[in-house]
Amino acid sequence: MKELEVRTASSSYPVYIGEGIRKQAAAFLTSLNRPMTKILLVTDAEVDRLYGDDMYQLLSEKWPVKKVIVPSGEEAKSLEMYERIQTEAISFHMDRSSCMIAFGGGVTGDLAGFCAATFMRGIDFIQMPTTLLAHDSAVGGKVAVNHKLGKNLIGAFYQPKAVIYDTELLQTLPEQELRSGMAEVIKHALIADHVFLEQLLGLQTLNGLTSDDLNEMIYKGISIKSAVVHEDEKEEGIRAFLNFGHTLGHAIEAEYGYGQITHGDAVALGMQFALFVSEQAVGCRMDRKRLTEWLRGLGYPGTIRKDIETSVLSGRMMNDKKTRGGMIQFIVLKELGKAGDLMLSRDELENWLNKWRMEETA
């Protein structure tokens, strides 16, 4: 098992990473010395089908537990589902010493975390990620639900009390979900660790990744994110660099329709565009062709659907949380392993996006 501590301005908490460690969840939770009068276990339908009853039984041996099952997929991050979970918590007579556990992927973590942040003005919550993608979202305290006009627009910064990451659960992930999560691993390498990036570039396929491989990738990814969050908990500075690829990625997700493209595939498109801007506008030196061909070789898409107009995407990007006074903070690379930003107007953004789309379809 690997262990690290995330330190932020507001709190610090442990992250446990290892195969089969969900079976030690009661011991981990007890070691936190929190009251935990009751536990609301929030999980999605697919995770519940595979592991929900076992986790419920394990926790019920020590605490009063109620399990709430939400739909699988991005649609669960809605105000309607938020209200439902709050209703379940109130009906269960939870108090300020109770705890919510997010047992699922990034969607479950974001949703349950926002519910915990706002129930009685904030109760404890624990992240128990079940996907590779959630190695990014489970750490750092960003919790949110979506609005029909944009992703993650309603949320808070609210840190968990612990992250328990059982990598055995990744063995049941379909390949597209593994690929989706790997996009965030790649992002961390691109913005902060060129040596790690070179290691990843040796991967020609995601098939056959061992538990040791996944443990190491998750540990490195979380370590990078932890270092950034330590310096900038509430995205007032360098934490924005973690949005590399996400400005366009979120717009693509929304325009395709949630569930029609994975988060990782959308972010991979966003990263390819960001690499283009980094090279063309910032002068970042890299073998961009090698990077984009490698991404596509792993199965990521290389072009945006032709029926989606650039103006529509730019409109969505201008609704992004990173927009300031009509200018969007766009994250680029100054060099491989070192991120920076550009402030772009909508016209500039559209101009770069049109140039990149023309290159990719040539």
109 labelled as ligand-binding?
yes
Sequential DSSP letters for 272-293 = HHHHHHIIIII---S-HHHHHH
What does the alpha-carbon distance between residue 221 and residue 129 come to, in Å, rounded to a whole number? Answer: 14
309 labelled as ligand-binding?
no
263 labelled as ligand-binding?
yes
107 labelled as ligand-binding?
yes
- Inter-residue contact 266 to 185 (CB < 8 Å): no
240 labelled as ligand-binding?
no
142 labelled as ligand-binding?
yes
83 labelled as ligand-binding?
no
74 labelled as ligand-binding?
yes
Query: Which tokens belong to 358?
Result: 């023309």
135 labelled as ligand-binding?
no
What does the alpha-carbon distance between residue 21 and residue 18 come to, in Å, rounded to a whole number? Answer: 6
To which H or E segment does residue 84 belong? helix 79-91
72 labelled as ligand-binding?
yes
C-alpha distance from residue 83 to each of 32, 63, 112, 213, 231 (Å): 28, 24, 11, 39, 33
249 labelled as ligand-binding?
no
What does the alpha-carbon distance between residue 318 and residue 306 come to, in Å, rounded to a whole number? Answer: 21
Nearest to 66 by CA among 97, 33, 43: 43
Strands 338-344, 327-335: pairing kind: antiparallel
Sequential DSSP letters for 88-135 = HHHHTT--TT-EEEEEESHHHHHHHHHHHHHGGG--EEEEEE-SSTHH
75 labelled as ligand-binding?
yes
5 labelled as ligand-binding?
no
What does the alpha-carbon distance between residue 7 and residue 159 come to, in Å, rounded to a whole number? Answer: 10
130 labelled as ligand-binding?
yes
131 labelled as ligand-binding?
yes
73 labelled as ligand-binding?
yes
The annotation places the binding site at 72-77, 106-110, 130-131, 142, 151, 184, 246, 263
The annotation places the binding site for NAD(+) at 72-77, 106-110, 130-131, 142, 151
The annotation places the binding site for Zn(2+) at 184, 246, 263
